[in-house]
Structure 1
């Protein structure tokens, strides 16, 4: 789930709990959800933990997660990401 979607549907009290667990403020998380700030790798991991995996590190750091967390690379989540049109062309060629 995208953080923006998750954050918009989260009650204020839960937002406060998540911010506290992540050692940051609700305002800073609002900025990340709004696309005004980028989550640090450490904060991305904390958000993933505090949302029980509903929001992932991959989703929070889509352009560099594989460089930061190579242990997350697998067949379902290759690195670098394969574009959808490349996948379709690969299937058409077989």
Structure 2
């Protein structure tokens, strides 16, 4: 799931920001793709969203370079 889809509606952006101890503005910038999500934050987001937003979703162009161990696992789609 894309981050923008996850954070839309009912305070999800603020709730995620609070879980990660970040500002909602930064979450918005990542969700709107005006700033890339740093690799070191991707795992935190994946955990905070209970896997709904994966590292693969957050870094579609280079996830396999950053986390090569994920290439051995098939991607689960809903």
TM-score bin, normalised by smaller chain: 0.7 to 0.9
Unaligned runs of 5+ in 2: none
Moved over 4 A (4+): none
TM-score, normalised via structure 2 length: 0.83
Unaligned runs of 5+ in 1: 78-94
Equivalent residues, number: 75
Pair member with larger Rg: 1
Please give the per-residue CA displacement for 1:28-82, whole angstroms capped at 9, x wherever unaligned: 00011111010001111111110000000000001111111111112635xxxxx
TM-score, normalised via structure 1 length: 0.70
What's the C-alpha RMSD, in Å, of the aligned pairs? 1.6
Larger RCO, structure (CA 8 Å, separation 6 or more): 2
